Structure 1
Amino acid sequence: MTSSLYIINPAADFPTYFGAEILLATGRRPGVMMADLSSTTVAALAPRDFSIEISDEGVAPVDFDHDADWIAITGKVSQRRRMIAIADEFRRRGKKVIIGGPYASLSPDHLREHCDVLVSGEMEEIAEEFFADLRAGRPRDRYIGDKPSLATSPVPRWDLYPNHRAMLGAVQTSRGCPFECEFCDVIQYLGRKQRHKPIANVLAELDALWAHGFRATFLADDNFTAYRAHCKELLAAMAHWRRDGHPMDFVTQISIDATRDTELMDMLVEAGVHQVFIGIETPNLESLRETGKRQNLKIDIVGEVQKLIDRGISVMGGMIVGFDHDGPDVFSQQYEFAMSTPIPIFSLGALMASEATPLFDRITREGRLLQGTVETQAVPWGSNIRPVTMSMEELNEGLHNLCNALYAPSAFGERMLNFIDAFGRARGPSDATIPDASSFREIEQEAVQIAADVRKLGGAEGRMWNKVWGAALRKPETVKIVARIMFQYAQARHMFDRGNYWEPQLAFAPPRREVLATAAVA
């Protein structure tokens, strides 16, 4: 007996810093920043006699008339409302619904009443039993996966995915993180012991992504450089793979402590890792101690970030306000800190107590957990924690002002010019040329046009764009990454607009260094 499965990755409940909703907002076909690993991996775990179709709602609408035997929905907390809405609509139509993924693993009780089958945890070790039960038409109402070896994780079914509308491919090279940040939910369902995918398997997945047209890929690790010896072995293999005719660019997440290893930074560059996200969180040392982010203590964060950019690795920074040790002056502190760095893009948010985290347990014990608020730090508005040192109104207003200040054209432009000036200077002169955009895929060409259209947002944006783009053209090795960052800026501005968060004025004193006023225009 064969079965059919319609696997759905729902749209996010709201635009996020690292989404691509700006595509649809500017009259283009919808698309996503990163191709979805969850749906394609589940499809790869299914027996080949199953009939499977994948729907990524960030790319195309869900087909509520689909005739599949089973509707399988995955998703994160930032997709929670849409997951539930889709599940309820299919069940209203008489369909059997399965829900799994990160949110189902962390908050199963919130989803139990919305599905017929709930899958928590990782799926590799339970897949055989799960799909056998589906084929027999007698699945249990709950399956709980453990923490399998990643050698058992198959190459995702990219042949079933709308790759043409995703900017980045995705490969997961490890699961888990050895750190103990109080607010982080990763270790709650993936564990503190980091498990690594065999390097040969990673390269096989890269081959598959290359064959499907991807030329940039997100390495979906929560801490790519946590285990230095393994990371260096993988980077060496990736560098060899790139030299063997696969000039792929990579984006990933690392910890700031990776900058203590000069060889590691150089190997990141050689392997094509040209952009990284770092959870900087705050310059407030007491807040770092409070949340257990010890790896960010006893270092000069600005100086360590500079090391990466000097080598040709751009940095995106995570920034959080609302720790118990944050006073009302934290917003100006964060602004001054950010403006001292060459980091153009910061994801800003208030501290959030995600379910199943130590922070959630502590805030609940203290009676400070607020109900009915947003549940994710993927957006800057709202928190589910009653602050200690300020009112909720002060927290929201301060964060609102900080977003406006850091993304004001003059402030953003200053950081961009500092970034361009520093990018790759430790490696000496480059023979790079300006890339030919005509060779890009359609969605990449659209992203470049959106980046160019930032100049049309207003007079200040136009002046900023002219100076930044002129500086990039004079340093061709920065053109591709500057275009990507400008797209991210456009997405952030769209997110602020959708959240009624954007007001075109600085909320803090303007930067002391008038870089934009003196920069030459190409």
Structure 2
Amino acid sequence: MRVLLINPYSGGYYYRLGAVYPPLGLMYICSSLRKKGYSVNFVDMNVERFDWKNFDFGEYDVVGISVDTVRFPVAEKIAERAKACGTTVVMGGPHATAFYETILRQGLCDYVVLGEGERAFSDLVESIANKEKHPHIPGIAYVRDGDIFVLPSRFIENLDDLPFPDREKVYLYRTKFAGERATSLITSRGCPFNCEFCSASQFMGRRIRWRSVENVVDELKILKKMGYGSVIFFDDNFTINPKRVVNLCEEMLRKDLRFKWWAFSRADELLGHEDMVEAMSKAGCKMLFIGFESADDEVLEEYGKNLKSGIAFDVVKFLKKYRIDVFASFVIGALKDTKKTIEKTVKFARKLKASIVQFSILTPYPGTALFEKLKHLIVEKDWRKFDGTHLVFKHPNFSSKELKRLFIKAYYAVYTSPRLIFRRGIPFLIRLLTRREAYSL
């Protein structure tokens, strides 16, 4: 059995900033398949050219395509081309999980993997190899006798059972952090919070599953031998278990695993846990990504953040004590947002003095509570515009042009401030706000 895994091109925030990291989900699937003895080729269109229009997909028995919303139009065309070549096509990822019925009815693929894919996809490939057209595999959906057959997806309970992600092509990635060659890893899955604009709790579950500290350290040892000096922990919420974070940091120090790193956190998990923040700083943490979202508490309530805006200043001041920078994220365009509340948020972001500030336009991604809430108001049909920089639904207070103007103005206000203009400034704005379409449809 020959398997081809494809990560379609993305033109989102991080791509525009040059922060392109290996797709861990597909890399885990790749290593899981190779562990079973299958021949696997992996293509990431973000870092390598792939002429899918003329490619002979018939050379492979199975083609697996990762799909999130903004990349769906490209993934759709690739799937159509692969199907035309007579191979078995499988789609997975957040968008495919949310819209598996529509995708299957359209005949874009033969199977959809729902949620986590390592076991489900691996079991599916085995079934295909055994000529089983209608397998009974949890987390797999397909059309059978005109109806959609699906068994509920299953979460992997013991993450230590998974082989480390396959990093055969890491040489293609040039991302750096704090001056060091950088890559990503994940130490847990799941998020207990339910922010209405986020799909993490739906896709990975609301119950957190952790890898053991020993297992994470073993992977870090491999990354150190590969020449990495920087890592990004892509957990949805790295700091939710302070004791575990302290244990991991202490073990990194004991094993002399010196990395410069950043992770994702929540403001309310930091104050009151000085031992954790101190341990993180000693172990190389240089930055935390924190979603402050808005300066207006009514907007925060709408988002389901369960936070007050004032905590942001205390958190930034606290982290600076330990020389940890803040990557502050804000979302504009809430239903309760007005021009006044957005201007308030922009002024708030300027005063916060974070090292990096990110603004996004509220986007109802499929699979989120926000999508269900606003789907009757969605007017944009082009999934490529579900990238956090476009208004895609009918807003009660703004037109698409008005909100886009406020969005650009927000970045201009922050990055032309005296404090940041020489650190990031105009070149940063140009990279961030310029769309690059590398692949035509």
TM-score by length of 2: 0.85
Distance in structure 1 (CA, Å) of the matches to 2:320 and 2:32:
39
**Match of residue 378, structure 2, among 357, 369, 372:** 369
Work out whether 1:388 is the aligned partner of 2:386: no
**Match of residue 13, structure 2, among 13, 17, 39:** 17
Paired residue secondary structure (1:84): helix
2:108 aligned partner, one-letter code: H
**Match of residue 146, structure 1, among 132, 147, 154:** 154
Whether the aligned pair in 2 keeps the contact of 1:10 and 1:57 (CA below 8 Å) is yes
Whether the aligned pair in 2 keeps the contact of 1:328 and 1:394 (CA below 8 Å) is no
Task: Give the C-alpha shift of residue 287 in structure 1.
Answer: 0.4
Distance in structure 1 (CA, Å) of the matches to 2:394 and 2:253:
48
**Match of residue 184, structure 1, among 179, 198, 203:** 198
Whether the aligned pair in 2 keeps the contact of 1:349 and 1:379 (CA below 8 Å) is yes
Distance in structure 2 (CA, Å) of the matches to 1:34 and 1:207:
19
**Could you tell me which residue of structure 2 aligns to residue 267 of structure 1?**
279
Paired residue secondary structure (1:34): coil
Task: Give the C-alpha shift of residue 42 in structure 1.
Answer: 0.4
**Could you tell me which residue of structure 1 aligns to residue 173 of structure 2?**
165
Q: Render the CA deviation track for 1:247-283: whole Å, top value 9, x for unaligned.
A: 2222211001132111111111122121221111101
**Could you tell me which residue of structure 2 aligns to residue 329 of structure 1?**
340
Distance in structure 2 (CA, Å) of the matches to 1:373 and 1:353:
13
Distance in structure 1 (CA, Å) of the matches to 2:434 and 2:173:
24
Whether the aligned pair in 1 keeps the contact of 2:296 and 2:309 (CA below 8 Å) is no
Whether the aligned pair in 1 keeps the contact of 2:362 and 2:388 (CA below 8 Å) is no
Q: Render the CA deviation track for 1:346-387: whole Å, top value 9, x for unaligned.
A: 2212111122222222224xx43334155776442x223322
1:108-507 pair list within 5 angstroms: 108-112=100-104, 113-127=107-121, 129-140=123-134, 142-143=140-141, 145-149=153-157, 150-158=159-167, 160-167=168-175, 168-241=182-255, 243=256, 246-260=257-271, 261-294=273-306, 296-297=307-308, 299-364=310-375, 367-374=376-383, 378-380=387-389, 382-407=390-415, 410-411=416-417, 413-414=418-419, 416=420, 464-465=421-422, 468=423, 486=424, 490=427, 492-498=429-435
2:13 aligned partner, one-letter code: Y
Paired residue secondary structure (1:155): coil
Structure with more of its chain in helix, by fraction: 1
2:162 aligned partner, one-letter code: S
Task: Give the C-alpha shift of residue 497 in structure 1.
Answer: 2.7
Cα distance change, pair 109–174 in 1 and its aligned pair in 2 (3 A): same
**Divergent runs of 4+, >6 A:** none
Task: Give the C-alpha shift of residue 240 in structure 1.
Answer: 2.5
Structure with more of its chain in strand, by fraction: 2
Paired residue secondary structure (1:39): helix
Task: Give the C-alpha shift of residue 221 in structure 1.
Answer: 0.5
Whether the aligned pair in 2 keeps the contact of 1:78 and 1:378 (CA below 8 Å) is yes
Distance in structure 2 (CA, Å) of the matches to 1:266 and 1:35:
29
Whether the aligned pair in 2 keeps the contact of 1:173 and 1:221 (CA below 8 Å) is yes
Aligned alpha-carbon RMSD (Å)? 2.5
2:198 aligned partner, one-letter code: C
Paired residue secondary structure (2:363): coil
Structure 2 unaligned runs (5+)? Answer: 142-151, 176-181
Distance in structure 1 (CA, Å) of the matches to 2:410 and 2:383:
19
2:32 aligned partner, one-letter code: L
Whether the aligned pair in 2 keeps the contact of 1:288 and 1:297 (CA below 8 Å) is yes
Distance in structure 1 (CA, Å) of the matches to 2:398 and 2:234:
36
Task: Give the C-alpha shift of residue 298 in structure 1.
Answer: 6.6
Cα distance change, pair 363–101 in 1 and its aligned pair in 2 (3 A): closer
Paired residue secondary structure (1:266): helix
1:94 aligned partner, one-letter code: G
**Match of residue 100, structure 1, among 66, 81, 92:** 92
1:38 aligned partner, one-letter code: G
TM-score by length of 1: 0.72
Structure 1 unaligned runs (5+)? Answer: 23-31, 417-463, 469-485, 501-522
Distance in structure 2 (CA, Å) of the matches to 1:377 and 1:235:
37
**Could you tell me which residue of structure 2 aligns to residue 58 of structure 1?**
46
Whether the aligned pair in 2 keeps the contact of 1:117 and 1:139 (CA below 8 Å) is no
Cα distance change, pair 282–362 in 1 and its aligned pair in 2 (3 A): same
